[in-house]
């Protein structure tokens, strides 16, 4: 586990490797950062937490040289930077960043990605053998096994993320910024990443870790800084924090968090019956029943077939086969998204930015785009009617009306997800498929999203929930299905289940008698 590889807190009696003093940054007259002081020492994992828009990423972009402060001082590894210093100069000082959206070129080899922009050369010539040798040395250092000649696009998300870490180490990185590094990883991949972070810590690298997962922050970090509204409001060793205090510091007030109370009794009415669902090479013979007003959670590791089940039910995978029964009527799996919608099945996809909304359009437009036939006349949108419908749908999912006029790409992750849910409400769907509904959102937004979902469930909506965070599945579901290798291993009430229980079933661990 993480604690096993974690040494004592870095010695702060020496010189810090990062000093940021009085950092201020404004965008279009609005303060994004106000007089921020931030310090990090070699060999520590320093977590940076806060709600979306709190200023965490902006502060780290300034440290990396990707953005410039309007005011303040940045010192790293003994070098002082001005607002005109280039990213390359920041990189030369040992600063590297791994963003949530990985910067990997899929059609290049693993080795080529690691040495992209920094090839091993001898005179004017690139030394391929030297790069391969260094690649293997980096793999050994991080305890991973990746073929340097493999196509990067064929690797798992965890392996591609490892390539980014190797790229940083190949440049003699001394400060590594990691922005939501585990958002797309399952439990096993997360543990491997934690081991890598432990190795970086042992070799004196300062890891600056942005995460919304507070359990992860408390396990992994040595020190935690909290940002709120562009101000660094708290900074203390991790031993001084607990989850409740962190949540209160992030929000500025107490937030009630914790498990959704499962329904005492679920309705007998079957909203959806799935029989023999197959996705070639991914899912085999999956069958289950979803009752009216139930949240049915699917727990499994990355690659277990979780998302493939949802995509098949949503009509997004033409290779899928099997049958479903809705309202007592048996029929084939929907062969298109349009067919699924007609059957009352809608989906909130895993990648909301690519598949869930139109980024440049405002919230109002995104909310009525799926409702064109009802807000149009003679081929023209009736603006007042469209706004009225969008306002009603936005209110139903808790979107501040002031945000409806903003481009959705400029909204917080939580509000983006509310738009993706809200755009379906006018259709009064019977079944909502949720794939990673809280990925990349802060703790307050997570509670708001599940509050909305809870209200919809009380009105009779049925939900199938998939999340990489097993705690989330257990906290918010009525029933949990264990999925491994594309097959369901068990379907049980969530009451009394723990993450340990779920993992034991996934890995077929025999409990001692």
In whole angstroms, what separates CA 37 from the centre of its chain? 27
Same domain, 239 and 310: no
Same domain, 292 and 224: no
Total number of domains constituting the chain: 2
State residue 9's pLDDT score: 47
136: in domain? no
CATH number, residue 11:
3.40.50.300
Task: Look up the domain containing 219 and give its range.
Answer: 1-94+208-254
State residue 54's pLDDT score: 84
Same domain, 246 and 340: no
Name the pairing type of β-strands 79-81 and 71-76: antiparallel
184: in domain? no
Same domain, 244 and 288: no
Per-residue pLDDT band at 6 (split at 50, 70, 90): very low
Q: 72-124, pLDDT tens digit by residue?
A: 999 998 899 988 888 888 988 889 888 877 788 989 999 999 988 776 666 55
Three-state SS at 129: helix
Same domain, 232 and 294: no
Three-state SS at 110: helix
Same domain, 231 and 302: no
Same domain, 483 and 376: yes
Q: 413-461, pLDDT tens digit by residue?
A: 888 999 999 999 888 899 999 998 988 777 777 888 898 899 999 999 9
- Please state, for a pLDDT cut of 90, what percent of the chain lies above it: 42
| Cα 63 from Cα 208, distance rounded (Å) | 11
Same domain, 366 and 247: no
Per mean pLDDT, which range of 166-175, 290-299, 306-315, 500-509 is the poorest? 500-509
What Rg do the C-alpha atoms of the chain give, in angstroms?
Answer: 24
Query: Angle formed by the axes of helices 413-422 and 383-396, to 10°?
Result: 120
- Among residues 38, 46, 64, the alpha carbon closest in space to that of 171 is found at 64
Same domain, 244 and 386: no
The residue with greater pLDDT, 344 or 124, is 344
User: 361-375 burial string, b = 16+ CB within 10 Å, else e?
Assistant: ebbbbbbbbbbeeeb
234: in domain? yes
Same domain, 298 and 372: yes
Per-residue pLDDT band at 8 (split at 50, 70, 90): very low
| Cα 170 from Cα 173, distance rounded (Å) | 7
269: in domain? no
What rounded mean pLDDT belongs to the chain? 86
State residue 129's pLDDT score: 63
262: in domain? no
Per-residue pLDDT band at 463 (split at 50, 70, 90): very high
128: in domain? no
CA distance readout (Å), 42 to 21, 146, 172, 249, 331: 18, 28, 14, 26, 61
Same domain, 411 and 288: yes
- Within 10 Å of residue 112's Cβ, how many Cβ atoms? 19
């Amino acid at each position: 586990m993480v604690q096993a590889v974690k040494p004592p807190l870095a010695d702060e009696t020496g010189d810090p490797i990062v000093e940021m003093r009085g950092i201020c940054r404004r965008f279009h007259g609005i303060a994004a950062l106000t007089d921020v002081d931030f310090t990090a020492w070699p060999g520590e994992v320093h977590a940076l937490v806060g709600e979306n828009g709190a200023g965490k990423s902006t502060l780290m972009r300034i440290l990396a040289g990707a953005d410039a402060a309007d005011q303040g001082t940045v010192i790293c590894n003994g070098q002082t930077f001005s607002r005109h210093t280039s990213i390359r100069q920041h990189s030369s000082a040992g600063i590297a960043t791994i963003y949530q959206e990985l910067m990997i070129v899929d059609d290049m080899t693993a080795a080529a990605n690691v040495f992209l922009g920094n090839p091993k050369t001898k005179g004017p010539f690139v030394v391929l053998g030297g790069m391969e040798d260094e690649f293997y040395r980096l793999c050994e250092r991080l305890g991973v096994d990746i073929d340097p000649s493999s196509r990067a696009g064929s690797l798992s998300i965890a392996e591609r993320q490892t390539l980014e870490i190797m790229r940083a180490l190949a440049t003699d990185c001394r400060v590594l910024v990691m922005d939501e590094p585990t958002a797309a990883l399952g439990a096993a991949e997360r543990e491997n990443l934690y081991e890598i972070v432990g190795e970086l810590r042992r070799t004196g690298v300062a890891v600056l870790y942005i995460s919304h997962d507070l359990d992860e922050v408390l396990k992994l970090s040595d020190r935690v800084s909290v940002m709120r509204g562009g101000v660094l409001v708290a900074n203390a060793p991790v031993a001084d924090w607990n989850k409740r205090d962190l949540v209160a510091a992030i929000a500025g007030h107490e937030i009630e968090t914790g498990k959704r109370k499962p329904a005492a009794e679920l309705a007998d009415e079957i909203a959806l019956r799935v029989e023999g669902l197959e996705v070639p090479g991914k899912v085999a013979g999956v069958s289950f029943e979803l009752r009216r007003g139930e949240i049915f959670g699917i727990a499994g590791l990355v690659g277990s077939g979780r998302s493939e089940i949802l995509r098949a039910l949503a009509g997004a995978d033409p290779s899928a086969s099997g049958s479903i029964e809705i309202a007592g009527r048996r029929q084939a799996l929907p062969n298109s998204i349009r067919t699924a919608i007609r059957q009352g099945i809608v989906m909130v996809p895993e990648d909301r930015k690519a598949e869930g909304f139109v980024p440049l359009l405002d919230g109002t437009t995104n909310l009525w785009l799926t409702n064109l036939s009802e807000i149009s006349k003679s081929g023209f949108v009736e603006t007042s009617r469209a706004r009225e419908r969008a306002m009603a749908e936005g209110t139903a999912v808790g979107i501040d009306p002031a945000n409806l006029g903003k481009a959705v790409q400029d909204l917080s992750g939580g509000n983006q997800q509310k738009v993706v849910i809200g755009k379906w409400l006018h259709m009064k769907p019977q079944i909502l498929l949720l794939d990673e509904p809280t990925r990349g959102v802060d703790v307050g937004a997570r509670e708001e999203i599940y509050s909305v979902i809870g209200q919809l469930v009380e009105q009779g909506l049925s939900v199938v929930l998939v999340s990489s965070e097993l705690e989330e599945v257990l906290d918010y579901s009525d029933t949990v299905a264990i999925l491994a290798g594309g097959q369901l291993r068990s379907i049980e009430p969530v009451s009394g289940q723990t993450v340990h229980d779920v993992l034991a079933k996934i890995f077929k661990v025999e409990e001692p008698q």
